[in-house]
Chain A
Amino acid sequence: MTSLVQIRDLRVEATTDSGRTIEIIGGVDLDIAEGEIVALIGESGSGKTTMAMSLMGYARAGCRIVGGSVVVDGVDMVALPEKDKAAVRGAKIAYVPQSAAAAFNPAIRIMDQVIEVVRIHGVMPLEEARTKAVALFRALSLPNPDRIGDRYPHQVSGGQLQRLAAAMALIASPKVLIFDEPTTALDVTTQVEVLRAFKSVISAHCIAGIYVSHDLAVVAQIADRIVVLRNGEVQESGTTADILERAQHPYTRQLLAAVAPDHEPRRDASGPTAEALLEVHEVSVGYGPLRSDGQPAIVAVDNVSLRVARGRNLGIIGESGCGKSTLARAIAGILPPFSGGVVFDGHELGRSARHRSPDQLRQVQIVFQHADTALNPAHTVEDILGRPLTFYHGMPRKQRSGRIDQLLDMVKLPRALRQRRPAELSGGQKQRVNFARALAADPKLIICDEITSALDTVVAAAVIDLLKELQRELDLAYVFISHDLSVVEAICDDIVVMYRGRKIEQITPEDMAKPEHPYTQLLLSSVPKLDPTWLDHLRQDPEQVRAYCQR
């Protein structure tokens, strides 16, 4: 039996900015049977999206398909002239993008975009397409299916857009669907709903396709088969159950291990009664002009108190927009709170960084999520690390040089990187430099704002291990902000759950199995597990879902 999709010896090359040619897919074979979903798993740069797009005979700017064949339903997409490719795209093979928010044209109503495929290929009358679109909206459990198409993309939420993108892909009843990380940009509680919707339409329409993701737990819910990619080559492939339970390749095992980090209790953790290092008293922070009652137009953090004991780590979790990063910025003095106060080491800190002494500034450091934007691209690693040494410690040149070497050793970067600029470092290396810069100040407290979110799972796990190790050596405390619950669970002693600017519960990792607040229950139960039956067995109280999700 011949399969629906046959990829043979696919090779894709890319030309870098410096004009060098590099191979991003090096001779890959792949088969997809009718009605089968194959997942492509790998970290960023593994070539998974490039490979998925080759199904449409498409390569992004700077990339070229240089060899091999991609036969979809008997037609080699690589050999097809551009005009014939266009005739297949959207009609026979459709694409669900990673960020639907970016893939929808902001200037066109949603319905017009959803049925555009029909308009282009003329597969059915437009009226029929509209009716079908509404039926798809309903099947994808979108709210108000009859009217949602009349809106513009910015008027609906991210989770809704992602489902609308699926409807847009399904409108012409394609044979093959490409899902490109379609839930990566979503919050976990939203992800559950979107995954459910995808799963039901996939089985209802008996769709074959590729599901690209870096998240094994998500893929486990949808895919029949998993292919593990790295550096443009297949490392391992097998049925979902085989990969999850009997992984052979060391890289696959590494990926699996990174999903479920070990939760060894931190032995040296002092008790919760230990002396407080940081106390946040009823802090409220907001944006925008002050109203007559002294409150800003938008209150992002509302009356939050928390306490970090010496040598203990506090995690702050919550979905996007819950105010966790704003709280971090208030503690660091970047964004002054409009009420409440911050006490550090027994002394009340000034509201904004300008009102704090240099020594107070030195003791509380913040590390930002995007090392790309936090590091000055024009400075070398040496300049970046040398600056806080001069600023806080007034170190002379010779001493500074020795200290920079020490710092690089601490974050496990080779000293040879000293003269490199951020653009010449990998994502993980950049985040380590970003962290080393905070360490250079000899702080007592480091606020980590989503520092692992932009990293691949394996790299993120290594960064977390590094953080733990440094804590043992340097007597540090962390405030660790993340939307990734497993990361927080791995490193924190106390966890604060935030929702819409409020602190709703404080728990410990041991309590995570049985939280009390309904939102925490919902949040924790929404984190995908490696078990392929997890989604089918997941029961969430619809009342709770309605109350807490802005889907």
Chain B
Amino acid sequence: MKHRIVSLVLSRLALALVTAIIVSFAVFFATAMLPGDTATILLGQAATPEAVEGLRKAMHLDDPAIFRFLRWLAGVVHGDLGVSYANNMPVAKLIGGRLINTLKLAGLTAVIAVPLALTLGITAAMLRNTLYDRCLTIAIIGVVSVPEFMIATLAVLLFAVYLNWLPAVSFTSEIRTVHDFARAYAMPVVTLTIVISAQMIRMSRAAVVETLNTPYVEMALLKGASRGRIVLRHALPNALGPIVNAVALSLSYLLGGVIIVETIFNYPGVAKLMVDAVSTRDLPLIQSCAIIFCFGFLLLTTTADVIAILSNPRLR
């Protein structure tokens, strides 16, 4: 049994590695296929054909695509993400601080959203078909149907423009006190929490409801177990797999999908950096940001799968 679980986990990790390589391949060629010649962009319209030709040589742009890909991949593995075209700084340096900002926002949101969503989802399952459950379901469907830029914009309108409680943009550089911190993060975190919680609440409710309908839960009831014991001891451990997956999927949104929220609040995160890179056609930066998002997503889903494997008693 031990042997089987180890081999299952290892094969899942190997699969993640293969996926990572395929993803980097896709990212590299998708950006390479963007229209426009890099050398021409860099040198501008007025450059002489000789100068363009020289730069192309220097940047190995004439090499076959597969060599460029391998060279780039080797760089990524060594932590060398290339040099930004726009301002000639190493991409790693550009991203570094931004990534920490994004992780800060993501971490803070996760710490608030995951317990909140699981509590709401599980209580809704316990009290299913009651007024509480119905109100919650309606609220979630309402929230899911409203796009996040709408929520963010409304929040800005209400709290920043009318009530004047909070600044409309997040000045993370001026944080000195807890109060500053709360003011800077309140709106982005609340917006993201609303966006990612809805899915987690629905999935955890569905997973718990499904296990609550099993014969072993009925058996626990007929043993005289309390409602809390039935849910926490009997239903929840068996619903863990789907719940962890839903959580991972929702959290992965915090890495790649926050572009709109970061842009609206002018929050200096990676997603905002990527949007800026697109407008300056800064290919190495775009590639690196895309790779970071993809790897983050991969890391979360792989973790969720491994937890699901480990929590399956049939494999213990």
Q: Is B214 an interface residue (CB 8 A)?
A: yes
Residues B224 and A106 in contact, CB atoms below 8 Å apart: no
Could you tell me if B222 and A152 are in contact, using CB atoms closer than 8 angstroms? no
Say whether A107 contacts B313, CB under 8 Å.
Answer: yes
Q: Does B316 contact A (CB under 8 A)?
A: yes
Complex Cα gap A89–B224 (Å): 5
Question: Within 8 Å of chain A (Cβ to Cβ): is B144?
Answer: no
Asked whether A102 and B215 contact (CB < 8 A) given A107-B238, A152-B314, the answer is yes
Which chain B residues in 123-138 approach chain A with CB under 8 Å? Answer: none
Q: Are A89 and B221 in contact (CB under 8 A)?
A: yes
A48 to B60, CA, bound (A): 81
Q: Knowing A97-B215, A120-B229 touch, does A106 contact B223 (C-beta < 8 A)?
A: no
Please name all residues of chain A whose beta carbon is closer than 8 Å to the beta carbon of B311 when the two chains form the complex: 107
**Cα separation A541 to B73 with both chains bound (whole Å):** 71
**B238 and A105 contact, CB distance less than 8 A:** yes
CB distance from A379 to the nearest CB of B (A): 28
CB distance from A494 to the nearest CB of B (A): 40
From B224, B226, B233, name the one whose CB has the most chain A CB atoms within 10 angstroms: B224
Name which residue of chain A comes closest to B236, CB basis: A107
Q: Does B27 contact A (CB under 8 A)?
A: no
Partner of A106, one of B219, B220, B313: B313
Q: Is there contact, CB below 8 Å, between B314 and A90?
A: no
**Complex interface: chain A residues within 8 A of B214 (CB):** 102
CB distance from B222 to the nearest CB of A (A): 4
Known: A97-B215, A105-B238, A107-B238. A88 touches B224 (CB 8 A): yes
Determine if B225 and A152 form an interchain contact, defined as CB atoms under 8 angstroms apart: no
A87 touching B238 in the complex, CB below 8 Å, given contacts A103-B219, A107-B313 = no
CA A108 – CA B223 in complex, angstroms?
15
Decide: A116 and B223 in contact? CB cutoff 8 A.
yes
Task: Name the residue among A89, A105, A152 with the largest chain B CB count within 10 angstroms.
Answer: A105
Interface size in chain A (residues, C-beta < 8 A): 29
Task: Given A107-B237, A154-B314, check contact A121 B224 (CB 8 Å).
Answer: yes
Instruction: Let me know if A104 and B229 touch, CB within 8 A.
Output: no
Q: Complex Cα distance A413/B224, Å? A: 47
Say if the beta carbon of A56 comes within 8 Å of chain B.
yes
Our pick among A61, A87, A90, A106 for the contact of B222 (Cβ within 8 Å) is A90
Q: Does B149 contact A (CB under 8 A)?
A: no
> Does B165 make an interface contact (CB < 8 A)?
no
Interface residues of B in 86-102 (CB under 8 A from A): none
Check if B215 sits within 8 Å of A152, measured CB to CB.
Answer: no
Interface string of A46-79 (1 = CB under 8 A from B): 0000000000101011000000000000000000
Chain A contacts for B68, CB-based, 8 A = none
| Among B216, B223, B234, contact of A90 (Cβ-Cβ < 8 Å) | B223
The CA of A120 and the CA of B229, in the complex, are separated in Å by: 9
Which of B225, B234, B313 contacts A86, CB < 8 Å? Answer: B225
A83-112 near B? 1/0 per residue, CB < 8 Å: 001111111001101010011111110000
Residue contact B216 to A103, C-beta cutoff 8 Å: yes
B316 touches A86 (CB 8 A): no
> Given the complex, which residues of B lie within 8 Å of A106, measured CB to CB?
216, 238, 313-314
- Complex formed: what's the CA distance from A58 to B237 in Å? 25
CA distance A297 to B300 in the complex (A): 35
Q: Is A99 a contact partner of B224 (Cβ separation < 8 A)? A: no
Give Cα A90–Cα B220 distance, bound, in whole angstroms.
9
Residue from the list A107, A117, A152 in contact with B223, Cβ < 8 A? A117
Residues from chain A with Cβ under 8 Å of B222 in the complex = 56, 58, 89-90, 94-95
Tell me whether A86 and B216 are in contact (CB under 8 A).
no
Question: How distant is B199 from chain A, measured CB to nearest CB, in Å?
Answer: 25
Decide if B313 touches A154 in the complex (CB within 8 Å). yes
The answer on a CB contact under 8 Å between B219 and A86 is: no
Complex interface: chain A residues within 8 A of B237 (CB) = 105, 107-108
In the complex with contacts A152-B314, A152-B316, A154-B313, A105-B224 CB distance below 8 A: no
Q: Are B224 and A90 in contact (CB under 8 A)?
A: yes
Instruction: List B292-314 residues whose CB lies under 8 Å from chain A.
Output: 311, 313-314
Contact check, B314 vs A91: say whether CB atoms are below 8 A apart. Answer: no
Set of chain B residues within 8 Å of A104, measured between Cβ atoms: 216, 219
- For the complex formed, measure the closest distance between the CB of A217 and the CB atoms of chain B, giving whole angstroms: 26
| Residues of B with C-beta under 8 A to A97 | 215, 218-219
* Contact of A86 with B314 at beta-carbon distance under 8 Å, contacts A104-B216, A107-B238 already known: no
- Provide the residues of chain B in CB contact with A107, threshold 8 Å: 237-238, 311, 313
State how many angstroms separate the Cβ of A175 from the closest Cβ of chain B: 14
For A88, list chain B residues within 8 Å (CB). Answer: 224
Task: Say how far B208's CB is from chain A's closest CB, in angstroms.
Answer: 14
Bound form: Cα–Cα A378–B137 in Å: 30
Identify the closest chain A residue to B316 (Cβ): A152
Complex Cα gap A120–B316 (Å) = 27
Q: Which residue, of B216, B220, B314, has the highest number of chain A Cβ atoms within 10 A? A: B216
Given contacts A99-B215, A104-B216, A152-B314, contact A86 B226 (CB under 8 A): yes
Of A61, A86, A154, which is in contact with the most chain B CB atoms at under 10 Å from its CB?
A86
Specify which chain B residues have a CB less than 8 angstroms from the CB of A91 in the assembled complex.
Answer: 224
Q: Which residues of A contact B225 (CB under 8 A)?
A: 86, 90, 116, 120
- Complex alpha-carbon distance, A102 and B211, angstroms: 12
Q: Find chain A residues with CB under 8 A from B314 CB.
A: 106, 152, 154
Among B224, B234, B313, the residue within 8 A (CB) of A117 is B224
- Closest CB-CB distance, A49 to chain B, in whole Å? 11
Give the CA-CA distance A87 to B226 in the complex, in Å.
9
Is B234 a contact of A105 with CB atoms below 8 Å? Answer: yes
Closest chain B CB from A78 CB (angstroms): 16
Q: Which residues of chain A have C-beta atoms less than 8 A from B233's C-beta?
A: 108
Interface residues of B in 247-298 (CB under 8 A from A): none
Name the A residues within 8 Å of B220 (CB-CB). Answer: 105, 116
Contact digits for A510-549, partner B, Cβ 8 Å, 1 yes 0 no: 0000000000000000000000000000000000000000
Which B residues lie within 8 Å of A90 (CB)? 222-225
Cα separation A120 to B221 with both chains bound (whole Å): 11
- How far apart are the CA atoms of A108 and B225 in the complex, in Å? 15
A88 to B222 Cα, complex, angstroms:
9
B224 and A120 contacting across the interface, CB-CB below 8 Å? yes
Bound-state CA distance A85–B224 (Å) is: 7
Identify the A interface with B (CB < 8 A).
56, 58, 60-61, 85-91, 94-95, 97, 99, 102-108, 116-117, 120-121, 152, 154, 168
Q: Can you name 7 A-B pairs with beta carbons within 8 Å?
A: A87-B224, A90-B224, A106-B313, A107-B311, A116-B223, A116-B225, A120-B224
Given A90-B224, A152-B314, 7 additional A-B pairs, CB 8 A: A60-B218, A61-B213, A89-B224, A97-B219, A105-B238, A120-B229, A121-B224
7 tightest Cβ-Cβ pairs between the two chains A and B: A90-B223, A89-B224, A102-B215, A90-B224, A107-B237, A103-B219, A105-B216
